[in-house]
């Protein structure tokens, strides 16, 4: 019997494909475009959608904010939570995941906001746990620079524990609604947590009722060894980028090993690999579309501007037609950096961008007709062992044509093969959908 796999999707609340003919013209701020995208993804039976977030205007590429703002890369970027509410209220089954930084949101606010959203969306909310990885973001919250990666994860471990305890501060049956006795909630089933740790001190209890999931889904994208341990300990779904099928299998096996070491059932942790399929009516049409994208000078600069923002390394200082002069290190997103630089390959910076294609290839090259791409995705999952894919667009820019290629082309090809769900199980929460297979 064919084993189904999960599908998710990620984008920014930023300008869409504003220079192309199939977007909104770069002004999607009322949220309607992205709400329509959520409805399309629900029609295609995706498990969830993530709204990614950053908390600064980048200045790394070229040493100023000019290139980032001129290209609409990483900034402007609006708050994900109001959009998550709009998308959730416009859908009925799709999981809606918002990014909330452990640096920027106090644990009590994250727990209260997540609980509220989960109640509003009937058990479909998820929290994308990030520690933030940019000094410019840290400086918006009273810090001169980011703590080290290990220190950020140590604080995040404690943060997640606080949030878990806050969710548990109300028993599931605390709300009794006894009209006859005039009791809304049983006070004996609501208690302070009195948490005092190295990083946080929170009295509690939470002042929201238990939501349908009681604890919303936790999503995380830990790439470093420390990040993988954090994700394996906490996440219901882990987002990953790996090099090819062997890299995907190695990553998943490693996360499952860490999950087991943390006392979890590894099957509870769904590892979804980032891919950006390019599909066409024929393989040649798909390849031509791909080549037009990666050969564009604008695309090259978009990728480098985005990578500069993620790593706070100025890629404008390097010659596009020479290899990188030395191995690059960052206190930011080292996994994204290593994915690009492929140190030791001898490729020029231009070749590295085209080869990695800023997400067009990512974990797996997927170029062809919907049937060809579906076959390749199925074969990869069979070899890797599960659990699914996270789809995205180049530099996270959406346009209506790309969405239609996926929802009306690729997804039906996957569904015909029994590889992805063709209907939601009625009444399931996001966590239940992730646990379904």
Which CATH number does the domain housing residue 58 bear?
Answer: 3.20.20.30
Does 177 fall in a domain? no
Element at 52 (helix H, strand E): strand 48-52
pLDDT at res. 8:
98
> Alpha helices, DSSP H only, in 314-429?
334-341, 349-356, 370-384, 400-404, 411-416
Start-to-end CA span in the chain (Å): 13
Q: How many independent structural domains does the chain possess?
A: 1
Q: What is the pLDDT of residues 151-170, one digit of tens each?
A: 999 999 999 999 999 999 99
Does 416 fall in a domain? yes
- Give the DSSP per-residue string, 287-300: HHHHHHHHT-HHHH
Question: Greater confidence, 34 or 357?
Answer: 34
Mean pLDDT across 367-394:
95
Q: Which of 238, 280, 275, 281 is nearest to 259 (CA)?
A: 238
Is 209 in contact with 174 (CB distance < 8 Å)? yes
Mean pLDDT across 227-248:
94
Does 427 fall in a domain? yes
Does 116 fall in a domain? yes
Q: What percent of the chain has pLDDT over 90?
A: 77
pLDDT at res. 216:
98
Mean pLDDT across 374-393:
96
Does 313 fall in a domain? no
pLDDT at res. 359:
46
With 0-12 / 13-18 / 19 or more C-beta atoms within 10 angstroms meaning exposed / middle / buried, residue 297 is exposed
pLDDT at residue 335 tops 80: no
Where does the pLDDT of residue 1 fall: very low under 50, low under 70, confident under 90, or very high at 90 and above?
A: low
pLDDT at residue 360 tops 60: no
Query: What's the token pair of residue 268?
Result: 């509870």
Does 271 fall in a domain? yes
Mean pLDDT across 182-207:
98
Task: Spell out the residues 6+ positions from residue 86 whose beta carbon is closer than 8 angstroms to its own.
Answer: 31, 34, 35
Mean pLDDT across 357-380:
84
Does 96 fall in a domain? yes
Does 30 fall in a domain? yes
Instruction: Give the mean pLDDT of the chain.
Output: 93
pLDDT at residue 93 tops 70: yes
Is 224 in contact with 334 (CB distance < 8 Å)? yes
Is 349 in contact with 319 (CB distance < 8 Å)? yes
pLDDT at residue 67 tops 90: no
Where does the pLDDT of residue 357 fall: very low under 50, low under 70, confident under 90, or very high at 90 and above?
A: low
CA gap 264, 257 in Å, rounded: 10
Please state at what angle helix 349-356 crosses helix 334-341, rounded to 10 degrees: 110
CA gap 176, 180 in Å, rounded: 11
Using the structure block, give the residue that is written with the tokens 């978009």: 302
Query: What's the token pair of residue 434?
Result: 């992730």
CA gap 301, 68 in Å, rounded: 10
**Angle (nearest 5°) at CA 425 between 419 and 426:** 160
Averaging pLDDT over each range in 127-136, 294-303, 329-338, which range is the top one? Answer: 127-136
Residue span of the structural domain in which 219 resides: 6-168+206-282+365-435
Query: What's the token pair of residue 423?
Result: 């209907």
Phi and psi dihedrals of 20, rounded to 5?
-95, 170
């Amino acid at each position: 019997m064919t084993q189904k796999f999960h599908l998710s999707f990620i984008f920014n609340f930023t300008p869409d494909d504003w220079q192309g003919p199939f977007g909104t013209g770069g002004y999607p701020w009322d949220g309607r475009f992205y709400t329509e995208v959520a409805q399309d993804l629900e029609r295609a039976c995706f498990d969830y959608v993530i709204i990614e977030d950053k908390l600064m205007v980048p200045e790394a590429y070229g040493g100023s904010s000019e290139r980032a703002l001129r290209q609409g890369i990483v900034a402007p970027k609006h708050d994900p939570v109001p959009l998550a509410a709009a998308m959730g209220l416009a859908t009925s089954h799709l999981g809606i995941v918002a990014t909330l930084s452990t640096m920027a949101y106090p644990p009590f606010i994250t727990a209260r906001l997540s609980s509220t959203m989960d109640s509003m969306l009937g058990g479909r909310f998820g929290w994308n746990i990030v520690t933030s990885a940019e000094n410019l973001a840290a400086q918006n919250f009273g810090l001169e620079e980011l703590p080290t990666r290990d220190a950020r994860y140590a604080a995040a471990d404690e943060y997640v524990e606080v949030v878990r305890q806050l969710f548990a501060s109300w028993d599931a049956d605390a709300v009794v609604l006894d009209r006859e006795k005039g009791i809304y909630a049983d006070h004996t089933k609501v208690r302070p947590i009195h948490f005092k740790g190295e990083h946080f001190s929170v009295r509690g209890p939470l002042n929201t009722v238990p939501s349908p999931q009681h604890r919303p889904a936790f999503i995380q994208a830990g790439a470093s060894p420390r990040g993988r341990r954090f994700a394996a300990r906490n996440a219901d779904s882990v987002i990953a980028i790996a090099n090819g099928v062997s890299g995907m299998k190695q990553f998943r096996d490693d996360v499952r090993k860490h999950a087991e070491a943390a006392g979890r059932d590894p099957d509870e942790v769904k590892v979804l690999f980032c891919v950006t399929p390019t599909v066409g009516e024929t393989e040649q049409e798909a390849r031509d579309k791909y080549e037009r994208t990666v050969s564009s000078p604008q695309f090259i600069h978009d990728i480098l501007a985005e990578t500069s923002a993620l790593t706070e390394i100025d890629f404008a200082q390097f010659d596009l037609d020479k290899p990188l002069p030395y191995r690059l290190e960052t206190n930011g997103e080292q996994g994204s950096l290593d994915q690009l630089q492929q140190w030791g390959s001898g490729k020029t910076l231009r070749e590295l961008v085209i080869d990695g294609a800023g997400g067009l290839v990512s974990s797996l090259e997927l170029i062809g007709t919907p049937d060809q791409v579906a076959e390749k995705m199925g074969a990869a999952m069979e070899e890797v062992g599960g659990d699914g894919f996270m789809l995205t667009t180049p530099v996270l820019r959406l346009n209506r044509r790309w969405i239609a290629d996926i929802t009306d082309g690729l997804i039906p090809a996957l569904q015909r093969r029994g590889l992805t769900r063709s209907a939601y199980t009625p009444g399931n929460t996001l966590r239940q959908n992730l646990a379904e297979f």
